[in-house]
Amino acid sequence: SAAAPVAAPVAAPVAAPDEAVPPGLELLRTTCLALYPSQTCPLHFYSVLKYWQGGPDPLDCVLAFAHPGDSEVSPHWHFVTAGLSDLHGDGRVHERAAGPGDASGFGFELSFRVRREDPISPPPQWAARLLQSLARYVFATGCLISAGDFVPWPGPLDGSRDSRLQHLLLASDPRLPPCAQGPLGSVRFPLLLGATADELAAAQAWSVPAIASMLPIVTDMRRGESLFDLHPELREMVRDQQEQHGSGLAAVTCRLMWLDEDGPSGGAAEVTTVSRPHIHVSHEAGLALPDALESRLRKGRHFTLVSAGGGGHAVSLVPSAVRGVVVTEELPYAARGLWLHALISDELLEQMDYEMHCLRLPPDRQEWPRCFRWESKGLAITVHGPGATLPDPPPDSPI
């Protein structure tokens, strides 16, 4: 859905003089004031129409604090979202946590540090729009965002044409507490880090936390060189780590649908046999499959695709070396409810690795969708093009 206009930032109290500050918002305010004690009235990007009033943007506001810079970081705007956690405690957006130790709302607010171009310019509106877009994704899918995750983005984060920072990695914000406790529950603060395409690829192939730890905590949209431009030796290190240890990326959240081409063989609750699974995945997830085959399955580790639409839809690709799963060589495909388990034998792995290697080519050099079929194994995977809509499952499918 289209984003509502983001109001220009204003410096004002977080509540009107005759209103009490909502308890969840007060927790965010006091947590940030510990870092910025002089900014009692920080700039706010308010939603024009609140989510609980029928507006499309879930965040009540985005707080923006001015960081002057120090020996470790450059001057920057520090954005903190307000609305992924429970701000009000009255059920208007989130169910109230059962106790103060439980997660407040989704249990987190996003932290984003963006380099200041000069001392007098206001905080950039594109950052607030990006945070609202991420919040809409979380509300629409129920998929949580935490340190160690990555977010592929369709273009430069600021909407420009020339910035190389087109993706996001997530880490813990080293300057905020790991978890803030308030009367409406606990809140974490994962930090967004702008990343280039090759930094994202390295994170997917090896380790998101490892690559994120090398990036500056302040995103500078003018950064023209990636980690690998500045330190070419890192490419060899990443390859060595990938070959020795495989990828730490065990799962990807994506648009996903699967069906049994021979028709449903059972209900949605018990473990059922699947005869000929056909897996449909989004473009971004498809591009991750070659690395998953090489860095996960060849290392004897499973790889799981989880539907961003919620509801439990998932697919786990399981190599022969994994034990204690619901699939066997005699029955290689089975579903536990909406979760498909597919046993990938060594022979099938070789075939998949060879045929899906083409997904490493630039997207504009390929025709979409790409359907891969291994008829003798009864398996098909279709990777859809950028922005394409996946087909709906048939009406009689257990999905």
Residue 310 lies in a domain: yes
Look at residue 245 and tell me if it is in a domain: no
Return the pLDDT at 7: 56
Does the pLDDT of residue 2 top 50, yes or no? no
Question: What is the residue-averaged pLDDT of the chain?
Answer: 88
Both 308 and 163 in one domain: the answer is no
Q: Are residues 220 and 187 in the same domain?
A: yes
Q: What is the mean pLDDT of residues 114-123?
A: 92
- Residues 226 and 255 placed together within one structural domain of the fold: no
**Is position 261 within any domain?**
yes
Do residues 186 and 280 both lie within one domain?
A: no
| pLDDT > 90 in the chain, percent | 62
Residue 148: Cβ within 10 Å count: 17
Backbone angles phi, psi at 77, to 5 degrees: -90, 130
* Stretch among 142-146, 224-228, 261-265, 274-278 having the lowest mean pLDDT: 261-265
- Condensed to tens digits (0 to 9), the pLDDT of residues 163-213 reads 999 999 999 999 999 999 999 999 999 999 999 999 998 998 888 999 999
- Residue 179 and residue 38 share a domain: yes
Decide if 186 contacts 179 (C-beta within 8 A): yes
List the Cα angle 386/391/392 in 5-degree steps: 140
For position 13, what pLDDT does the model report? 54
Range among 131-140, 155-164, 186-195, 263-272 rated most confident: 186-195
* Cα separation, 217 vs 147, whole angstroms: 13
Asked if residue 369 has a cis previous peptide bond (ω within 30° of 0), the answer is yes
Residue range(s) defining the domain that contains residue 287: 251-383
Per-residue confidence at 5, pLDDT binned at 50, 70, 90?
very low
Instruction: Provide the pLDDT for residue 81.
Output: 98
Classify residue 284: in a domain, yes or no.
Answer: yes
**Separation of alpha carbons 65 and 46, rounded Å:** 14
Residue 300 backbone dihedrals phi, psi, to 5 degrees: 80, 25
Which of 185, 205, 234 is where one domain is finished?
234
- State the pLDDT confidence band at 266, using cuts at 50, 70 and 90: very low
Select, from the ranges 210-224, 256-270, 276-290, 322-336, the one with the highest average predicted confidence (pLDDT): 210-224
Q: In whole angstroms, give the CA distance from residue 173 to residue 112.
A: 9
Domain assignment of residue 129, yes or no: yes
Q: Note the pTM of the prediction, 2 decimals.
A: 0.76
Q: Name, in order, each residue with C-beta under 8 angstroms of 202's C-beta and a sequence gap of 6 or more.
A: 211, 227, 228, 234, 235, 238
- Over residues 323-376, the pLDDT tens digits come to 767 899 999 999 988 889 999 999 999 999 999 999 988 888 889 999 999 999
Judge whether 113 and 81 are in contact, CB under 8 Å: no
Q: Is the pLDDT of residue 399 over 50?
A: no
Output the domain CATH number for residue 264. Answer: 3.30.1360.230
The arithmetic mean of pLDDT across residues 42-68, rounded, is 93
Beta sheet of 150-152, edge-to-edge order: 10-11, 43-46, 61-67, 76-82, 111-115, 190-195, 167-172, 150-152
Measured CA to CA, the distance from residue 130 to residue 124 in angstroms comes to: 11
Enter the DSSP assignment of 47: B
Burial class (CB in 10 A: 0-12, 13-18, 19+), 298: middle
96 and 68 in a common domain: yes
Q: What is the pLDDT of residue 4?
A: 41
What's the pLDDT at 141?
A: 67
Q: 273 and 209 in one domain?
A: no
The answer, yes or no, to whether residue 396 has pLDDT greater than 60, is no
Which percentage of the chain shows pLDDT scores above 70?
Answer: 90
Q: Are 185 and 103 in contact (CB under 8 A)?
A: yes
On whether both 193 and 278 belong to a single domain, the answer is no
Whether residue 223 is found in the same domain as residue 264: no
Per-residue pLDDT, averaged over 34-60, amounts to 93
For CA atoms 3, 27, 8, 172, give the dihedral sign. negative
- Asked if the model's pLDDT at residue 310 lies above 70, the reply is no
Do 24 and 156 sit in the same domain of this protein?
Answer: yes
Residue 356 in domain: yes
Q: What is the pLDDT of residue 151?
A: 86
If you compute the radius of gyration of the chain from its CA atoms, what whole number of angstroms results?
23
pLDDT at 377: 97
Same domain, 108 and 194: yes
Alpha helices in 2-111 (DSSP H): 23-33
Structural domain count of the chain: 2
Question: What confidence score (pLDDT) does residue 262 get?
Answer: 84
pLDDT of 6 above 60: no
Is residue 199 situated within a structural domain?
yes
Q: Which residue has the higher pLDDT, 324 or 309?
A: 324
Report pLDDT for 307: 82
> 264 lies in a domain?
yes
